[in-house]
Structure 1
Amino acid sequence: MSSERTSEQDVHGRRAALFDVDGTLVDTNYLHTVTWWEAMRQAGHRVGMREIHHTIGMSSDKLMDRLLPEDRDRSGDQRISTAHKTLYAEYFARLPALDGAPDLLRTLADRGWYLVLASSASQDELAAMRATIGADEAIATVLSSDDVEEGKPAPDPVEQALEQAGVPARDAVFVGDTVWDVVACVKAGVRCIALQSGGIPPELLLEAGADEIYRDPADLLRHLDSSALGR
């Protein structure tokens, strides 16, 4: 990101709202948990669903490194990842948007926020979730896992979102739902609002460094004026 572009947009007061999507705008974290569990089961790995759930939000390679034995035959990792994607794709037509998600995005856009979706999902998964949300007119830029070299909890997705928005970290707020979202934001120096809609206990989100916590998009929208997105 060039300093010329940044300073030009700073003059115009651009503020960027960066959003995770899975578990933040669309209720998919438990679907990912079940489909990862089945993909690993098919490959002969016994992994508890609680452990899987707490890794959702990581990039696929980091998720498998965390959950599967270190001495495994890693040549099978791609088959596991493909099986997960195939199983999860069966839900594309009926993915549920979280309460308040489209209204939150539209309200922020109406208030002048530059909206970026910064997701760890693949392009086809992200397209299915955007169709579910139905607020594309409010979204300025979209990033998928294909657009970054390293996924969360590395800061790359957050930093790439800042670059796409053309703002420094101080002029951005990230909204996510997992510990890995929060950790990536802390590394990137971006304020993070965490939602409990992904199923992660609030104490873990606070411990990771979340600045604010709300129940779901609808709850954040109700408290928007007193949040980091309303100040």
Structure 2
Amino acid sequence: MRIKAVVFDIGQTLVHYPIPLNWSALYRPAFEHIEQKLGLSLSEEAYEHIGKTLAKYNARINPREKEVSSDLIFSEILEGTTIPETLKETVKKEFYDYFRCKAHVYPEAEETLAELAGQGIVTATLSDVAYGMDNQYALDDIRPLLKYIQYPYTSNDTGWRKPCGKALEILAEKTGVPVRETAFVGDEIKDVMCAKGAGVVSVLINRTGEAKDYGQDYEIKDLREVIRLIN
């Protein structure tokens, strides 16, 4: 059986983010940056409220299956501060940019996607966004790759977060490629669980070489190995 579609996670799969997976320790530095950048004055009570609200929507602490919008999260954040609602979009941008500023696409990502496209393989992404991050930010990190990706999806588009397999099922309907002929490449256990839940071929990318037995169908060290797998 030939693989006809390959879906990629974004963070630590296509793009390297040199920050912890759990952003808890960076809530205050991020909002101190926002405070300084926008000329705001936030009280300790405001910082406490901000931290509690972000922790509530931190999927690493409180996993959830259904996605939540950034508007809901940041409206709730602003309600406990003196920041006017009119600055919500600006605050969102500064918050997300704080965590994205040093992100970079892995060197082999573009050539891999170009090769897949050249072979007629359908390509897509499926990534959980952090704190409802809008696609304009989440997908901007893969801008050099978008010309090769036919279905650039995140949890905003499907409404579901991994490890729930429903998101991949929705994506399979969009691509028109059966799940059994689709592979999902990701770096975490939730990526493998999502693939298995949807009946998709699971490919774990493990760049560190440490033992990771998540029940994956295949394991690779480099995105270029995807080409070998599908052929």
Shared topology, TM-score over 0.5?
A: yes
> Alignment partner for residue 19 of structure 1, among 8, 30, 44?
8
Distance 1:86 1:40 in 2: 13
With the length of structure 2 as denominator, give the TM-score of the two structures.
Answer: 0.67
Aligned pair count reads 186
Distance 1:84 1:152 in 2: 23
Distance 1:76 1:93 in 2: 20
For the pair 1:119 / 2:130, whether they are aligned, the reply is: no
Give runs of aligned pairs for residues 91-170 of structure 1, distance below 5 A: 91-121=99-129, 122-131=134-143, 134-170=144-180
Give runs of aligned pairs for residues 20-59 of structure 1, distance below 5 A: 20-28=9-17, 30-33=18-21, 35-39=23-27, 43=48
Q: CA deviation at 1:19?
A: 0.9
Judged with a 3 Å threshold, the aligned counterparts in structure 2 of structure 1 residues 14 and 211 are, in CA distance, closer, same or farther, namely closer
Judged with a 3 Å threshold, the aligned counterparts in structure 2 of structure 1 residues 62 and 195 are, in CA distance, closer, same or farther, namely same
Contact 2:127 2:153 in 1 (8 A): yes
Q: Percent identity?
A: 20
Judged with a 3 Å threshold, the aligned counterparts in structure 2 of structure 1 residues 103 and 157 are, in CA distance, closer, same or farther, namely same
Question: What are structure 2's unaligned runs of at least 5 residues?
Answer: 30-46, 64-72, 79-87
C-alpha distance after superposition, 1:48-82 (max 9, x if no partner): xxxx9xxxxxxx5542315xxxxxxxx999549x9
Distance 1:93 1:160 in 2: 31
Structure with greater Cα Rg:
2
Q: SS of 1:153's equivalent?
A: coil
Distance 2:115 2:76 in 1: 40
4+ residue runs over 4 A deviation: 40-46, 75-78, 82-86
- Structure 1 equivalent of residue 206 of structure 2: 196
Judged with a 3 Å threshold, the aligned counterparts in structure 2 of structure 1 residues 167 and 38 are, in CA distance, closer, same or farther, namely same
| Greater fraction of residues in helix | 1
Distance 2:93 2:76 in 1: 11
Question: What are structure 1's unaligned runs of at least 5 residues?
Answer: 1-12, 47-51, 53-59, 67-74
Q: CA deviation at 1:191?
A: 0.6
- Structure 2 equivalent of residue 175 of structure 1: 185
